Structures are given as C-alpha cells and as structure tokens.
Amino acid sequence: MPRKLAVFAARLFARGGVMPWLLLIAMVYFSLAADTFLTGENMFNIARQSIYLVLVSMAHMIVLLTAGLDLSIGVIMAMTSIISSMVMVAAWSGHGAGVWAILAGCAAGFGAGTAIGAINGIGIAFFRVPPFMMTFAMSWIAFGIILIITAGLPVYGLPESFANVLGYGTAAGVPIPAWITIGIVILVYVFIDRTRMGRYLYAIGGNYRTAVVSGVATRFYLFMAYVATAALTSVAALMLTARLGGGESVIGMHYPFLTLVACLISGVSFFGGVGRVQNVVMGAMFIMLVENGLAKLGLTSYVHTIVISALLIFAVIANNYRQRLLLTVRV
C-alpha cells in the first residue's frame, strides 16, 4: 500500500510539477497564520498586484523557451517608464486630458523598450553573443543612459488621465490593467501553442542543431523572441508607470529575478524547450501570494528576498527531479 501511494504521488508530481503542491502549502499555512489572508479583499489585491509580474514573466518565458535568458528586463521597464514620462511631460500643456501627449509618450516608451530587445536579439542571434553576457551588458548600458538623462531623479507631472485610466481605471468592476493582461495572456497562449513561430521556439530550445538542419530560420526567430519579450515588458512598464504616477529609474529592479523564479517554479526549463503559458501565469501569482503572505505576517523585505531565493533553488532541484521521473514513471 505505501508503495502504491508513493507511485501515485510520483505520477502526480511528474504530471503537474511542484507548483500545485507549493500553492496548496502556501494557502494552508498563510490562512492559518494570518486571519486577514484568506479574504475576498486580500485575494483581489493579490490578483491586482500580480498583473505586472504575470506580463513580464510571460515575456521572460519566451526567451527561456529558446534556452536563452534576459537579464535586461529590469532596465527595459525603466527605459520605457522614463522615456514615456519625459515625452508626456514635454508634450502636455498642463491643460485638458492630454490624450495626444499620452499617446506620444506611450509610443516613445514602447519603442525605446522594444529597441533594447532588438539590440539583444541582434547580438545573440547574429553575432552569437551568449544571452547572459549580452543581456547583462545591455542592462548596464541602458541603465547608464537612464542615469545620464535623469540624473537618477524620477519624472513626475504626467497627465492625470493617464493614471486614472491605465493605472486605476475599471471596467465592469474589474481594473482596466487586468482586462489588458487577460487579453495579452490569451494572445500569448495562442502565439506559443498555436502558431508556427511558437513551435519553432520550442524546437530551437529543445535542440538547436536539429532545428537548423530542419530548415528553421533560427537566427530570425531568436531575434524575434527577444523583441517580443521586450515588447511585452514595455506594456507592463507603461501600466506600472501609470499606477505609480511617474517615471522611475528603478521601477523594474527586481523583475529579472522575480520573473525567473516564477518561470522556473512553474516548470519552464532553464535549458529550453519546456514550458506552458498557463503555468507561468500561476507561478507569477504564486510569487505575489507568497510576498503578500509574508507581509501579512509582518516580516521585512529582507526575509522576502531570502524566501524567494530559496524557492528559486528549490524550483531548479524539483524540476531536475521531475525530468528524471518523466523518464521512469508512466504519467
């Protein structure tokens, strides 16, 4: 009987990964430890706070599928935030809704953030610079540019309608950023699971040489993966800028780390070719759930960092064990 239970548990773990188990443990523990955790208001707050991490985690997943990595996600967010804010402030007269100023700022910020992804893609796909080196170097180059143009100071004075709509606006009782995120999640799911390019990303990450021999335009698709990652990250940065009411040079400082944890803990392979959009969404929400639970317990941000870092190590170990199980257990 114990052996049958062990086999059953192994099959469940091999099929669903570590994410459902961690989610169950976290829900039970925080519910017992904090009376205000398992309430409708708090669950709504967790969902709302997860919006930005969900978007950027899906973005990071795209390059991870190709066995890549993007450490410049944080500065892509910062560049988008700073450039969009500066353009809005410069274009807005201080009167009226400032619709044209908002559109110009969003376009400029989105273009600046996506341009970083394009440069990453060129370096990685065409000049064969390793993703770690390319994105790490670009993060410092872009951050240096941000500091030069801002002197490290935030940019305020944005049109109020920008924050009122994209930051705090609601439709049918649901925040507008949530509707945007739901729409993008659906689009990314279709893109990854139902398009030729999505299948090619899995193929490139699974076995690069085989993809080349099979006639896949690997350089083009690698380039587009980093552009798509930067584009999604820029959208999240625009919404977060609206929420904060101004441009911040440190707006995305923790996102490279948090998105990596969210992806790995949801079953995305660090070596490419494995991952599902729906699992990454759950992983991002789990990270915010843990952060919220730790805050409810009155623990400092230093403890948050320790716990999330430990989860990253645990996720890698669990995923390695799961891969071995998949080879030996019939799921």
275 inside domain: yes
pLDDT, one tens digit per residue, over 16-28 is: 677 888 888 999 9
CA–CA dist 115, 83 (Å, integer):
12
Residues 6 or more apart whose CB falls under 8 angstroms from that of 281 comprise: 54, 57, 58, 185
172 near 31, Cβ under 8 Å? no
55 near 236, Cβ under 8 Å? yes
215 inside domain: yes
154 inside domain: yes
Length of the chain: 331
Domain CATH for 130: 1.10.3470
Cβ atoms within 10 A of the Cβ of 65, count? Answer: 25
- Confidence band, pLDDT 50/70/90 cuts, at residue 109: very high
4 inside domain: no
| CA 121 to mean position of chain CA atoms | 18
8 inside domain: no
Q: Quickly list DSSP for 132-165.
A: HHHHHHHHHHHHHHHHHHHTT--B----HHHIII
Specify the number of domains making up the chain. 1
- Confidence band, pLDDT 50/70/90 cuts, at residue 324: confident
11 inside domain: no
The range of the structural domain enclosing residue 297 comes to 18-325
330 inside domain: no
User: Does 252 score more than 80 pLDDT?
Assistant: yes
Percent of all residues in the chain with a pLDDT value above 70, rounded to a whole number: 94
Q: What is the mean pLDDT of the chain?
A: 92
Q: What is the mean pLDDT of residues 139-154?
A: 95
CA–CA dist 77, 68 (Å, integer):
19
196 inside domain: yes
What local confidence, expressed as pLDDT, does residue 13 receive?
A: 66
- Confidence band, pLDDT 50/70/90 cuts, at residue 124: very high
In the 8-state DSSP scheme, what is residue 247? B
Residue 17 φ/ψ region, left for φ over 0, alpha for ψ in the -120 to 50 degree band, beta for the rest: left
